[in-house]
Amino acid sequence: MNGRDIDLFDKSLALNEEVEEELAKKSKKSNAIIMKDEYEQVVGFILHRELYGIDILDVEEIIKPVDYTYVPNTKPFVMGVINLRGKVIPVVDLRKRFGFMAQPINADSRIIIIAHNEYNVGFLVDKIEKVYYVEKKSIEPTPPNIPQNIEKYVKGVGKMPKKIITLLNIEELLKEGGSLVSKTGSSMEVVENG
Amino acid sequence: MAENMDDMQEIIQDFLVEADELLEELDEDLVRLESESDDEELLNKIFRAFHTIKGSASFLGFEKLTELTHKLEDVLNKLRKFELKLNSEMMDAILAGVDKAKEIIELIKEGGDPESVDIEENVKQLSRFLEEDYKEGQGKEEPQEEELSEEEMVELQKEEMLEEEALLESEEEEKKPKDDIDAEIERLLKQRMEEDKEKRLKRREKILAELQGKGTEGEEKQGEEKKEEPKEEKKEAKKPPIQKKSKPVVEQTIRVDVQRLDDLMNLVGELVLGKNRLVSVAQKAEEKFSGDEVVEELSEVANQITLVTTDLQMGVMKTRMVQIGKVFNKFPRVVRDIARELNKEVELIIEGADTELDKSVVEEINDPLVHIVRNAIDHGIEPPEERVKLGKPRKGKIILSAYHEGNYIIIEAADDGRGMDPEKLKQKALEKGLITETEARQMSKEEAYALIFKPGFSTAEKVTNLSGRGVGMDVVKTNVEKLNGIIEIKSEIGKGTKVILKIPLTLAIIQALLVKVTKEYFAIPLVSVVETVRITKDDIDKVENKDVLRLRENIIPLVYLGDTLGMGKNKRTLDGKEIYVVVVAIAEKKIGLVVDELIGREEIVIKSLGNYLTNIKGISGATIMGDGSVTLILDVANVINEASIISANIEDHLIENYAKDVPVALVASRDITDKNDLIDYLKDKGYKVIYAHTDKEALELACEHIADIVFIDLSIYINDGYNLARSLRSMPAYKTTPLIAVSTDGTYDKEKLKESRFSGILFVPLEKDEVYEAIENASKRNILVA
């Protein structure tokens, strides 16, 4: 399983470059608008040996793991908050979020800073690949072999030459928030009710 | 045309702002008028206020408002000419009229139909004073409707028009002049002038007709009018100074969008963070290269920036400051109304109305104060007869005062009423089932007073429509909590009650006390901190199996801060010989928070945690420290409430209560192949080995298990091993524990090793003998140190 993945991966990288070349040729010939229309640009990253993608428009930047501050009373997958140039941004361990086995931070670990609507959140991932151009017509609805716990957060699966990429639904991922719903009921709520 | 509509909308907006201000002042002035009914200056001021509103209202076509203010203006005109004498009936009618005007203005604001308001009753009431037979004992007969002299009228109108023109011009400047707007405005102004003229003519005709019908009386009146002319000239002579008084205000102040000020405040907040960082870098540089010229220059710059930033921060804060008088000035009216309704006699004394505080705070403080004052009049101040019997002055006294104390504003509301009886309060709370017998017995005087803030508590024998429903004081508590303020009550039976509110001046940048709990740092807003004390485990008492601290005459509940935040489980970080307690208070509650370490005081800028992490229990926000790290700000109110629920005890967190049968070794390392060898060697030596991949994990484990030896990979994520060692050394349990560095690539920084107080170093690949030797050496060295 492991070996095959890496094998596929290397080839696909090369293939992807071919796609890019083709795109470059295309854009020279006609205008870039066609390219934009037909392809979706996604940031590809590895999580638990699988390739995932996030729409590039939702990605603000990618940083190396930095020191973070633990926030009490948050869901277990919330690592804490970081300081990104004066902004306080929560960081989510995407492995834990999807219920995969936790993996300690290593040299490849990266945090993808997401800016989606009014949300600003960082996702800790195993490794960043690169920006892929996924042909829109190749994107298919979520296949049944996607684990149930993450199915909800998957927008679709993009088929690239010899490689597939699971595209994440950011909206759905962020919607639930990271605060722990209090068991005791916060006192403030009680006051409001009374 | 659409643009014209917009312009009209803007004119209406300006009118609303102006009217609000005028009406607010009116309230205050009218109440003052009650006691100083012959103050000509004051009468003129009130008259002018009505006149201005009437003018603008008629210009904008608010008919009902025009009619109402016109009537008010007429009554005031009579008053200012001393043709009528003010009595309480008249005052009530005028105040009712003002209220109605406010109602109409509110309706306009909300986009409702201002003509739908029923003003008939008010107009009828007011008209009565204008009738001829309403003037008992005043002898003279005056015209039904005393008009302003033509000159005065023109004068006033000119003034208004100039103002309006100025206003319109300034708008045009922004919007680039447009001829059609100009024309439209001119047309409107002309139209208005004509309308006014017409009205005036009509009125004059009416008066003349009446005068003719009354024959001789009319002659008398004419004579009087003549007599009055010089009087009016005098008034006109007096006018210029008043104009001078009001004009500079227009020139020297500008209205600024609050949003802009907020943005500015945010930027200054960023600047403060930057400054904090610069100062910390300068300090580091000084430590490292002391004596260097460039470093000295850097320190100098840092100092200068600190000074300028502080000034700038003060400056911006000041632009947001408003006088508390804005709130206080409503109170003469409030007190008057409540007192009248309850048949009590109350005198209100206001002190320190010029004390300034942040606009956002002012907005929140009004409601609590109204409730406190209501409560004081309703429950505190006795009826006049009772007061006389008690030998107190007939009139009760309420003193509202404000003053600054450091970064806080203190607002006090004191009455000289019956005071509060703690026993009676307890009894009442018991009856209502708000507290238990035991709780009641243990309650201090202050705690008993605080009972009035409990929802559902009311001591009033009967429920009045003002207070006694037991909701009011609850509002006080909620609002003050929102502002991170403290409420204190002092009371003496028979002498009166004093409610003291201590509120931070501003909400964006605050002073905070930094504390450490387990491996985390937290900022506690200093306004909530009463004091900090150092105790030993023997100072902790138990009440019903809960920890308490006897501090002077008070008994304060004691909890470990980590437990209130749900992160205290299995953490053993407290040294029984040195326990630090931060006594915090919010609103009326007080509690002692046990922390691992007190770090110090710092100025912090409050930042939100964003949309993803909202309403986190115990945390109100975050701030960025000088070193760039994020520190969370405690929501003290929430922590205090949480504290009453948790069952964990302080002794669960004492290092000395950690029981273990075998020595423990903590290995903190990246995923390296040699780590397994190391673990095996340690196991062979009889150690129980716990393993951490990152520094965060290592610190967490170090709080849960008290390790006897620690191996640290110097290249561990996220910060390096040196930093991990330094953090461990700052924990009471690891002051002398052997810390052995492991270098995976053969490199190390000798200086840093010393600074982080490592006990030894090993290099990969690890040999069994070397490891055992290192353990032995490190242990020996620690014996030497000890």
pLDDT tens track for B517-561: 998 999 999 888 999 999 999 999 988 888 999 988 888 999 999
**Chain A contact for B696 (CB, 8 A cutoff):** yes
For residue B15, report the phi and psi dihedrals to the nearest 5 degrees: -60, -40
Q: What is the DSSP letter of B673?
A: T
**Chain A contact for B230 (CB, 8 A cutoff):** no
Strand boundaries in A17-153, DSSP class E: 39-47, 50-55, 59-63, 78-84, 87-93, 110-116, 119-125, 127-135, 139-140
Do B466 and B534 lie in one domain? The reply is no
pLDDT reading at B470 higher than 80:
no
| DSSP code per residue over B397-437 | EEEEEEEEETTEEEEEEEE-S----HHHHHHHHHHTTSS-H
Do B310 and B358 lie in one domain? The reply is no
Distant-in-sequence, close-in-space partners of A61: CB < 8 Å, separation ≥ 6: A113
Give yes or no: B405 in active site. Answer: no
Within a domain: residue A193? no
Of the listed ranges B271-280, B284-293, B452-461, B672-681, the least confidently predicted one is B452-461
pLDDT reading at A54 higher than 60:
yes
Instruction: Decide if B44 contacts B80 (C-beta within 8 A).
Output: yes
Within a domain: residue A52? yes
Output the six-digit token pair for B77: 């005109």
Do B344 and B493 lie in one domain? The reply is yes
pLDDT reading at A128 higher than 50:
yes
Within a domain: residue A159? yes
Nearest to A82 by CA among A95, A91, A73: A91
Nearest to B402 by CA among B505, B291, B490: B505
Do B23 and B158 lie in one domain? The reply is yes
Is the peptide bond prior to B765 cis by the omega test (within 30 degrees of 0)? Answer: yes
Do B376 and B487 lie in one domain? The reply is yes
Is residue B701 very low, low, confident or very high in pLDDT (cuts 50, 70, 90)?
Answer: very high
For range B122-129, the mean pLDDT: 83
pLDDT of residue B551: 87
Contact between chains at B622 and A104 (C-beta distance less than 8 A):
no
Residue that wins the pLDDT comparison between B181 and B270 = B270
Contact between chains at A178 and B612 (C-beta distance less than 8 A):
yes
pLDDT of residue B151: 57
Distance from the Cα of residue B98 to its chain's centroid: 29
Tens digit of each residue's pLDDT (9 = 90 or more) over B319-358? 888 888 888 888 888 888 888 888 888 999 999 888 888 8
Contact between chains at A70 and B520 (C-beta distance less than 8 A):
yes
Select the residue of A74, A86, A89 nearest B616 (Cβ to Cβ). A74
Mutate which: B484, B612, B675, vs A, most A CBs within 10 A = B612
User: How far is Cα B487 from Cα A129, in angstroms, rounded to an integer?
Assistant: 57
Q: Which domain holds residue A22?
A: 2-179
The total domain count for chain B is: 5
Between the alpha carbon of residue B652 and those of residues B540, B560, B577, B646, B730, the distances in Å are 13, 10, 15, 13, 20
For range B18-46, the mean pLDDT: 81
Do B533 and B584 lie in one domain? The reply is yes
The count of C-alpha atoms lying within 13 angstroms of the C-alpha of B363, restricted to the half-sphere facing its C-beta, is 8
pLDDT of residue A163: 84
Instruction: Decide if B718 contacts A124 (C-beta within 8 A).
Output: no
For range A120-132, the mean pLDDT: 94
| DSSP code per residue over A128-173 | EEEEEEEEGGGEEPPPTTS-HHHHTTEEEEEEETTEEEEEE-HHHH
Do B704 and B642 lie in one domain? The reply is no
Q: Which of B252, B273, B302 is the last residue of a domain?
A: B252
pLDDT of residue B699: 93
pLDDT of residue A106: 85
For range B57-75, the mean pLDDT: 84
Do B288 and B399 lie in one domain? The reply is no
Within a domain: residue A194? no
User: How far is Cα B2 from Cα B119, in angstroms, rounded to an integer?
Assistant: 32
pLDDT reading at B784 higher than 80:
no
Provide the shortest C-alpha distance from residue B307 to chain A (in Å).
21
For range B417-432, the mean pLDDT: 85
The dihedral of CA B559, B564, B568, B569: what is its sign? positive
pLDDT-above-70 percentage for chain B:
81
pLDDT of residue B159: 60
For range B487-514, the mean pLDDT: 85
Distant-in-sequence, close-in-space partners of B172: CB < 8 Å, separation ≥ 6: B178, B181, B182
Within a domain: residue A190? no
Do B486 and B535 lie in one domain? The reply is no
Output the six-digit token pair for B390: 């008690």
User: How far is Cα B783 from Cα B730, in angstroms, rounded to an integer?
Assistant: 19
Q: Which domain holds residue B711?
A: 660-785
pLDDT reading at B314 higher than 70:
yes
Tens digit of each residue's pLDDT (9 = 90 or more) over B140-194? 444 444 445 555 555 666 665 665 555 555 544 444 445 565 666 667 667 767 7
For range B203-215, the mean pLDDT: 60
Within a domain: residue A8? yes
Nearest to B147 by CA among B92, B197, B95: B197
Closest residue in A to B635 (Cα–Cα): A188
Q: At what angle do helices B2-35 and B150-175 cross, to 10 degrees?
A: 130
Residue B733 belongs to domain with CATH number:
3.40.50.2300
ipTM of this predicted structure: 0.79
Q: How confident is the prediction for chain B on average, in pLDDT?
A: 80
Within a domain: residue A185? no
- Kindly list the residues from chain A whose CB atom is less than 8 angstroms away from the CB atom of residue B520: 69-70, 72
Is residue B252 very low, low, confident or very high in pLDDT (cuts 50, 70, 90)?
Answer: low
User: End-to-end distance of chain A based on CA atoms, in angstroms?
Assistant: 59
In what side-by-side order are the strands of the sheet with A163-168?
A127-135, A39-47, A50-55, A163-168, A154-160, A139-140
Do B765 and B645 lie in one domain? The reply is no
Q: Which of B252, B281, B301 is the last residue of a domain?
A: B252
Q: Which of B319, B350, B365 is the last residue of a domain?
A: B319
pLDDT reading at B571 higher than 70:
yes
Do B343 and B475 lie in one domain? The reply is yes
pLDDT of residue B227: 44
pLDDT of residue B400: 92
pLDDT of residue B632: 95
Do B380 and B523 lie in one domain? The reply is no
**Chain A contact for B609 (CB, 8 A cutoff):** yes
Residue A135 belongs to domain with CATH number:
2.40.50.180
The two beta strands, A119-125 and A87-93, are parallel
The total domain count for chain A is: 1
Residue B165 belongs to domain with CATH number:
1.20.120.160
Select the residue of B566, B611, B629 nearest A69 (Cβ to Cβ). B629
Nearest to B27 by CA among B350, B322, B330, B328: B330
pLDDT reading at B5 higher than 70:
no
Within a domain: residue A186? no
Residue that wins the pLDDT comparison between B723 and B777 = B723
pLDDT reading at B23 higher than 90:
no
